[in-house]
Amino acid sequence: MIIAANLKTNLTREKSVKYIKEVENFLDKNSISQEVLVFPAISNLNRHSGRVTIGTQNAYPTINGAFTGEIGYEQLEEFGIKTILIGHSERRHVIGETQEMLVKKFDFYKELGFKIIYCVGEPLEVREAGHEKMMEYISKQYAGIDVTYENLIIAYEPVWAIGTGLTPTLEDIVAIHKELKAKSSAPLLYGGSVKVTNAKEVLALEGVDGILVGSAALYVEHFCTMCEYAEKLNK
């Protein structure tokens, strides 16, 4: 299974290093063989040679150049980063990235062989408009994306479930994952208010290959416990 921590705009460089070390010590000590990914804030990236895969939360589709406030491949290469999160709801809805821009990023980093965690998910008003409208909306987030890319992981994260403590019902997650699995055979993660209290049951669901965790992952011991749950299930 795949267990990923999106640390968003949290922790300092020093704290991120400590965090990753703690996770790795835990994985080693408990012989956890699941795939574990951590996405620290970009300023906290480092060259890293441990057991956990470190990814970037964002990057511009460029090697380098005049893109103030962005980073490109040259900056990632310095630290050996080969994993990227694309299409996160906060990039789509807070920063305003369009599907067109996401496709550019996807194609650029795919060409470079990056592992891509591509996020999809609907806002509340879309969900409330009914299942058909919701699936139509999510389908558009697949437009232009090479769903057969071998280094692709997809994360279904309903926007209204992110950071709110709300989640779809377990039945809903299974049903939506089933429909999304029909679009791509890439591993499919669930994200949105995954906590140490619900992680076990979410991980156990049919069609769930892992979880992408935000706020709860900031508690390193909670994130470690979720990795342990995944190891026990070992789907």
Examine residue 145 and tell whether it contacts ligand 13P (CB under 6 A). Answer: no
How many whole angstroms separate alpha carbon 163 and alpha carbon 166?
8
Task: Decide: is 157 part of the binding site for ligand 13P (CB under 6 A).
Answer: yes
Task: Pick from 163, 174, 196, 205 the residue near ligand 13P by CB under 6 A.
Answer: 163
User: Which of 180, 191, 222, 227: binder of ligand 13P (CB under 6 A)?
Assistant: 191
CB of 198 to ligand 13P, least distance (A): 11
Please select the residue that binds ligand 13P; options are 76, 138, 216, 227, rule is CB under 6 A.
Answer: 216
Determine the Cα–Cα distance for residues 209 and 154; give it in Å rounded to an integer.
Answer: 10
Separation CA 31–CA 232 (nearest Å): 11
| Residue 57 engages ligand 13P in binding (rule: CB under 6 A) | no
Q: Which residue in the list 122, 157, 177, 228 is annotated as catalytic?
A: 157
Asked if residues 6 and 213 have their Cβ atoms less than 8 Å apart, the reply is yes
Find tokens 């619900």 and name the residue.
198
Phi/psi for 181 (5° steps) reads -65, -30
Q: Is 157 a catalytic residue?
A: yes
Please tell me whether residue 234 adopts helix, strand or coil conformation: coil
Residue partners of 198: CB distance under 8 A and separation at least 6: 167
**Alpha-carbon distance 141 to 151, whole Å?**
18
Spell out, one character per residue from 6 to 45, where the chain touches ligand 13P: x when CB under 6 A holds, - when not.
x---------------------------------------
Beta carbon nearer to ligand 13P, 78 or 120: 120
Among 26, 73, 88, 230, binds ligand 13P (CB under 6 A): 88
Q: Is residue 88 flagged as an active site residue?
A: yes
CA dist., res. 62 & res. 77, Å (int): 12
Q: Name the site residues for ligand 13P (rule: CB under 6 A).
A: 6, 88, 157, 162-163, 191-194, 212-216
The residues assigned a catalytic role are 88, 157
